[in-house]
Structure 1
């Protein structure tokens, strides 16, 4: 079986690895002209660590990653709002949680794919997908070339997915009313607590710091904003300094110490969940299928799960692609839809601009049963994976 994958991000590269491990013939087509460092960092939760282990990459990823043991919630001024014990999640799921820079994450995945004999083809921008006379998807590129394959995997992201347009008839993402500035700080001017992720909550604003090492961390500063605005990279650093000027010292210091060139600004979009992920011989995965907000904490993790499950479904039904794609969608829809909706719910709370509502939210956090929360997260993320839930690994 020949498989063509549209997209060279996490979902695309991971699915190519998973298919190659099953012995399939794979090509990967990426619209960007070259491999680029996009994003800041990723928390590899245990469900994603399981997939990396199946790829033979968990030890290599752990060598460049942090190992957070807690997620602390704090007010904008640094007051304690409670903490989630990540160690409980790891023990219950049997795999570690890792914090890793996205550049390292993508580099390790891409290197593994090359070792399997597949190189990403860059500069391959899809302009249309249509259907041939024999009910097979055909992919048209901007250079005039066309691609067909036994299976086409649409891993082309949330913002302009041709695969989603082909499957559902529409691919316009939904702006969720907030912006994220993201960045990476590397330098000995700050010594981070490597055991803890820090999540600062304000009124209509949020700032998260995720250590990767003693002197390296990635971060995201979010704020409610009614409409998508202009992008001016030269202004991002000053915007952050002004907006978070009276926040706790760690927030101010990491902003001040991050070079402007390491800061990006994202107007955050997602998609409504849809129960149909395939049409003919094309299936969409990752953000194209179930884009979740960063507040879900599971975007890259669910892309890895997609890759592993899809390859296994196809390998289990080698003579009936339709049955394989139906089985894959049935397996993945409810889980990813729940994660997407949970991400929206948390975002609605974090970026609420009503001060009374935010005070009530903070009070609820102080009273929360974080042990029960950790157990619920572990159980939900373990769904449909062969993990020994409740048995430390």
Structure 2
């Protein structure tokens, strides 16, 4: 039997991870990517244990750990910086999106063909076509119909990196009225992000304008937040509308399959989008390496659809709570009560050892 032709539409996290995992002895792989070069700016991504196992199978976990940062703890905070609920992050590794993409790119075999340019429709004739082209996936719309088109949320995401590591007492996510601000260490600097309702977009957003809006919006927050935003520059920041995908019952149709955000784009509130994209890619690659196409796709749907759709829904619910406007006092009171109970339980556990 000859080589099986696989077209991967999209050279982001999911597309590169799949290209790195497919057996070059079985597959003739082409990756189509419209981006001419790796991004220079990107937020820090938290790699949960499942994603770390996927990175290990690809062969780059050690490199990710050496170039990333260990995430130990943070807190959900009030705008003033008061910790309301401690969050443990033991075992998590933080890595910038550009660095992760670069490492994934180095893991792709030299036999993989790269095609640069925008893809308006997937090329015909492949044994398998993979939609790894993100939330606005051309592949998903072509094969799942216009009802599957991405949907804009009311929220803008503004994020970036500034010099200097944050103090441990400032790390975490600040929940205000209809807005959140996050702060975490990132390779010797500080990774920050903000999200709030905005009329900017939904197309290309002017980063300088978004930064000015963000500074005004968070002017009443803690000194740590204001200092970070004062340092933020358009060159080291991104601003874009948050989009999501509608629910899908299957990620494959015929010889077409979706991975990552093309199948289950979610709001960033759980920090799981990149992780699940990696897990998708490695799971699909392993199945294709070992099983006939129909069996591999059936097993992939069984492994990944329910799990990722649950996370998509949970992320949306968390976003609704975090960005609540009218229910803020109730929400914050609940967080404080939960925080007290967690602290008490931790103290009792410590005295019982």
Q: TM-score, normalised by structure 1?
A: 0.80
Aligned counterpart in structure 1 of residue 5 of structure 2, from 2, 5, 18: 2
Contact persistence 2:5–2:128 (CA under 8 A): yes
Q: Show structure 1 runs of 5+ residues with no match.
A: 88-95, 130-138, 140-146, 373-393
Retained in 2: the 8 A contact 1:113–1:119? no
Name the SS for the 1:184 alignment partner.
Answer: strand
- The structure 1 residue matched to 2:63, chosen from 60, 65, 80, is 60
Shift of 1:24: 2.9
Separation in 1, partners of 2:235, 2:126: 40
Within the candidate set 25, 29, 34, 2:28 is matched to 25
Q: What is the total number of aligned residue pairs between the two structures?
A: 337
- Does 1:82 pair with 2:77? no
- Deviation string for 1:175-230 (max 9, x for gaps)? 22211111111x2xx442469841111000100012123x4121111112367457
Q: Which residue of 2 aligns with 1:376?
A: none
5 Å-filtered alignment, 1:1-393, equals 1-20=4-23, 23-37=26-40, 39-87=42-90, 96-114=91-109, 116-118=110-112, 120-123=114-117, 125-129=118-122, 139=123, 147-159=124-136, 161-170=137-146, 171-185=148-162, 187=163, 190-193=164-167, 197-213=171-187, 215-225=188-198, 228=201, 231-318=205-292, 321-354=293-326, 357-368=327-338
CA distance in structure 2 between the partners assigned to 1:260 and 1:276 by the alignment: 39
| Residues 227 and 245 (structure 1), Cα distance of their counterparts in 2 relative to 1, 3 Å cut | closer
Quote how far apart the aligned CAs of 1:128 are: 2.5
SS at 1:127 equivalent: coil
Partner of 2:345: none
Conserved 8 A contact 1:68-1:196: no
Distance 1:286 1:236 in 2: 27
Q: Distance in 1 between matches of 2:176 and 2:219?
A: 13
Tell me, in whole angstroms, the C-alpha distance in 1 between the residues paired with 2:306 and 2:155. Answer: 26
**Cα-Cα RMSD:** 2.2
- Whether the 8 Å CA contact 2:76–2:174 is kept in 1: the answer is yes
Q: 1:120–1:128: structure 2 CA closer, same or farther, 3 Å change rule?
A: closer
Contact 1:167 1:278 (8 Å CA) reproduced: no
Q: Distance in 2 between matches of 1:101 and 1:246?
A: 28
DSSP 3-state at the match of 1:39 = coil
CA contact (8 A) 2:41 2:238 kept: no
The alpha-carbon deviation at position 63 of structure 1 amounts to: 0.9
CA shift digits 1:331-352 (9 cap, x unpaired): 1111001100011001111111
Contact 1:5/1:28, CA 8 A, preserved across alignment: yes
Structure 2 residue ranges without an equivalent (≥5): 343-353
1:69 alignment partner, SS class: strand
CA separation in 2, counterparts of 1:370 and 1:22? 56
Deviation at 1:370, TM superposition (A): 9.7
Cα separation, partners in 2 of 1:33 and 1:306, compared to 1, 3 Å = same
Alpha carbons of structure 1 residues 359 and 277: separation in structure 2 relative to 1, 3 Å:
same
Shift of the 226–352 alpha-carbon distance from structure 1 to 2, 3 Å rule, reads farther
1:22 CA displacement: 7.5
Cα separation, 1, equivalents of 2:15 and 2:32: 9
